[in-house]
Amino acid sequence: MFDHGQPSYAEVNKDVLSTMLETGRGYWILLGSTMSVAGICFFMPWIYQLFVGIGAAGMNRNSVWGTYISNFIFWIGLSHSGTLLSAVLHITNSQWRKSIYRSAEAMTLFSLMTAALFVMVHVGRVWFVHWTFPIPNQMGLWPNFRSPLMFDVMAITTYLTASSIFIYMGSVPDFAAVRDASTGLRRRLYTIFSFGWRGTAKEWHTLGWAYTFFAVFVIPLAVSVHSIVSWDFALSIVPGLHHTIFAPYFVCGAIYSGTAGIVTVMYCLRKFLNFERYIGQEHLNNLGKLLITLSLIWSYINMLELFSTWYGGTSFELEATRFRLTGFYAPLYWEMILFCAFVPLLMLSRKIRLSWNKMLVISILINIGMLTERFIIVATSLPRKFLPDAFGFYFPNWIEISITIGSFGIFATLFLIFIKWVPAVSIYEVKETLNPLRRNG
Amino acid sequence: MAVVATFAYEDAFLAAAEKLKSSGFDDMELLSPIPLEEAQEILGLGKSPVRRFSLAGAIIGAASGFAMCVATALVFILPTGGRAIIAIPPYFVITYEMTILFGVLFTLIGFHVVSGLPAWNDKPYLEEANIDRFVVVVDSGSGEQLAQAESIIRQAGAEEIRHVEVE
């Protein structure tokens, strides 16, 4: 598992904590850049839209959903691998999970936060967003729980809460390690964060049980979240959206893009935080195999969608599919197929699976493809439903494109803040993978 | 007064813990940088009561989730397209999410209740126990018993033994 020799227990503490406690100039420059992108590209256009109204975005009467919703799905999707993968690998007691799961879970959390921001941008009058919460409004009216949008609110709130607790509880012993290694205000803060953790057998025992239960709860939750997001579309009768395959399609796509996201994040952690010792080729190899499997499932579902449309023979569905395959957005569709169905096949080669640079490129291409997939779902269905005289067209304008770019700045900013507050690699779980400290070696 | 002993090796630490346990030191504490199943077995920590919290949370979540849907539908009756006012299939989704939400929250409460955390009061602790050392703490018993504990610990190969005042 360790490409550069096995570290000692003390070295694990030192290596991981140094990434938090020692901050170079490069970090501040990077943080400043990502914050600038978030501020200029995301928040400024959003503030403009708040003043002008939702009409400032490129959505119109036919296309009431646009890039904001496709970005929302993309970020929810990206959130899917972290916590889910971590929970599944925890239950199955996979050792290779231990170096990478903390950052993967953080990715989940920050993707979810970014996704939640898109809901606020999309609704326009964000000051009424509390109407979606399960509380009565000033007219004594409660939300309608028969609506898939309410399913969504409940699912995402639950997922955000569960993921936050999952990552926090897994970090408690490491917060104690930070506490012990620091002084002054930081020490006081981490004394609070770590709940006074001492590492007694009883504490480990209780944490082990609680953590396993969190994992057991999180796995069906993660599957339900993206199923529910798919029902936002599939429970309508719009051609191109009304498919029973949508829930597994979305869940598979979410795990797929999330796993690709993990590869990208792991590359950055290795490169910029010098975690080469802890994140090795075994991790890359396993993630590569997982990506191939997910790519094949994703491709199969895509073929199935086309087949069921053709076999069903409904004129509306056939027209929606024709437009998707040969219409204005056809280049995007085929780009998606290329990046998500064919490019990942390169990973069948072990040589490619073990190359960090090649895997980085493939993981980014997969996520470009997945971002495109979500855009196609929105842009080629709603504006062209049923009768041709009602057909419209949707193309994102500069505000939507800018906000899309800015969302990556938000995600990167949150992640950069995270790596200075929480050990990006789990100290105690990495120690568990080392040879035990025994007298006879 | 407590006896706080440090071990560099896991097997020596476990041997000391086992000997102490068989000599009647049931209240000792075992601190380690990683979870050790053997240490938990020595202390007789079996199935954790946390699981009861998880189950209770899941049941309460399911019941309250469904009740919330039904109650809110009845507060303001909104007939749409002849559909049932109390519609089971969509309410099942909310029930499912609330089951998980409450299950997670109750598990969190269970963790705090069972582990006794947060505990910021001063208890015997060595920072090395969170790095690469294994620590045994015996803090109850008469002076004679503590001397016996110290002797067991020393024979097991402790690296260092300290006497710490406890409240």
Distances (CA, A) of B107 to A214, B55, B151: 7, 9, 41
Question: What's the half-sphere exposure (Cβ side, CA atoms, 13 Å) at B124?
Answer: 22
Angle between helices A9-21 and A148-181 (to 10 degrees): 110
> What is the interface size between A and B, counted as CB pairs within 8 Å?
189
Distance of CA B61 to the CA centre of its chain: 22
* Residues in Cβ contact with A264 at an 8 Å cutoff, skipping those fewer than 6 apart: A360, A363, A364, A367
Q: Specify the pLDDT at position B66.
A: 95
Give the span between the Cα atoms of A32 and B56, in whole angstroms: 46
Give the span between the Cα atoms of A367 and A373, in whole angstroms: 9
- Whether A344 has a pLDDT exceeding 90, the answer reads yes
Distances (CA, A) of A254 to A202, A349, A396, B85: 37, 24, 23, 34
- Whether A209 has a pLDDT exceeding 90, the answer reads yes
Q: Specify the pLDDT at position A303.
A: 94
Q: Specify the pLDDT at position A401.
A: 95
- Whether A72 has a pLDDT exceeding 90, the answer reads yes
Higher-pLDDT residue of A99 and A363 is A363
Kindly report the nearest CA distance between residue B32 and chain A, in angstroms.
Answer: 6
Q: Which of residues 84-143 of B touch A (CB under 8 A)?
A: 87, 90-91, 93-94, 96-98, 100-101, 103-105, 107-108, 110-112, 114-121, 123, 125, 127, 129-132, 134
The string of DSSP letters for B1-40 reads: -EEEEEESSHHHHHHHHHHHHHTT-TT-EEE-SS--HHHH
Give the span between the Cα atoms of B50 and A214, in whole angstroms: 11
DSSP conformational letter for A143: P
The average pLDDT across A14-21 equals 89
Residues listed for chain B? 167
Distances (CA, A) of A122 to A30, A133, A173, A427: 29, 16, 39, 40
Residues listed for chain A? 441
Q: Specify the pLDDT at position A301.
A: 95
Give the span between the Cα atoms of A85 and A91, in whole angstroms: 10
H helical segments located in chain B: 10-22, 37-42, 50-75, 88-115, 143-156
The string of DSSP letters for A148-164 reads: HHHHHHHHHHHHHHHHH
CB B3 within 8 A of CB B137: yes
Distances (CA, A) of A71 to A210, A378, B64, B115: 34, 10, 33, 41
End-to-end CA distance of chain B: 8
Kindly report the nearest CA distance between residue B142 and chain A, in angstroms.
Answer: 23
Rounded (10°) CA dihedral B80, B85, B90, B91: 150
Model confidence at A386, pLDDT cuts 50, 70, 90, reads: confident
Nearest Cα to Cα of residue B131 among A168, A7, A207: A7
B118 preceded by a cis bond (ω within 30 of 0): yes
Q: Specify the pLDDT at position A440.
A: 67
Give yes or no for B83 touching A (CB within 8 A). yes
When scoring A18, A131, A153, A158 by the number of chain B Cβ atoms within 10 A, the one with the most, hence best to mutate, is A158
Give percent of chain A with pLDDT exceeding 90: 59
Q: pTM for the complete prediction?
A: 0.91
Model confidence at B167, pLDDT cuts 50, 70, 90, reads: low
Kindly report the nearest CA distance between residue A267 and chain B, in angstroms.
Answer: 27
Q: Specify the pLDDT at position A3.
A: 64
Residue B63 tokens read as: 């019941």
Residue A79 tokens read as: 């959130």
Give the span between the Cα atoms of A353 and A407, in whole angstroms: 29
DSSP conformational letter for A7: P
Angle between helices A184-193 and A148-181 (to 10 degrees): 130
Q: Specify the pLDDT at position A216.
A: 92
| Greatest mean pLDDT range, A420-434, B89-103, B151-165 | B89-103
Burial of A205 (0-12, 13-18, 19+ CB in 10 A): buried
Mean pLDDT, chain A, integer: 90
CB contact under 8 A, B75 and A165: no
Residue A329 tokens read as: 């957005």
Higher-pLDDT residue of B1 and A220 is A220
The CATH number of domain A9-129+143-433, selected from 1.20.1630.10, 3.90.950.10, 3.20.20.140, 1.20.1200.10: 1.20.1630.10
CB contact under 8 A, B132 and A180: no
Query: What backbone torsions phi and psi does residue B61 show, to the nearest 5 degrees?
Result: -60, -45
Kindly list the residues from chain A whose CB atom is less than 8 angstroms away from the CB atom of residue B127: 180
What structural domains does chain B harbor? 2-33+132-164 (3.30.70.3400), 50-115 (no CATH)
Angle between helices A25-37 and A398-421 (to 10 degrees): 150
The average pLDDT across A228-252 equals 90
Give the span between the Cα atoms of A265 and A111, in whole angstroms: 12
Residue B125 tokens read as: 């602790």
Q: Specify the pLDDT at position A61.
A: 77
CA-nearest residue to A207 within chain B is B111
When scoring B11, B80, B97 by the number of chain A Cβ atoms within 10 A, the one with the most, hence best to mutate, is B97
Nearest Cα to Cα of residue B72 among A141, A152, A132: A141
Residue B20 CB neighbours (<10 A): 24
When scoring B14, B27, B83, B93 by the number of chain A Cβ atoms within 10 A, the one with the most, hence best to mutate, is B93
Residue A120 tokens read as: 């606020």
CB contact under 8 A, A158 and B97: yes
Kindly list the residues from chain B whose CB atom is less than 8 angstroms away from the CB atom of residue A157: 101
DSSP conformational letter for A146: T
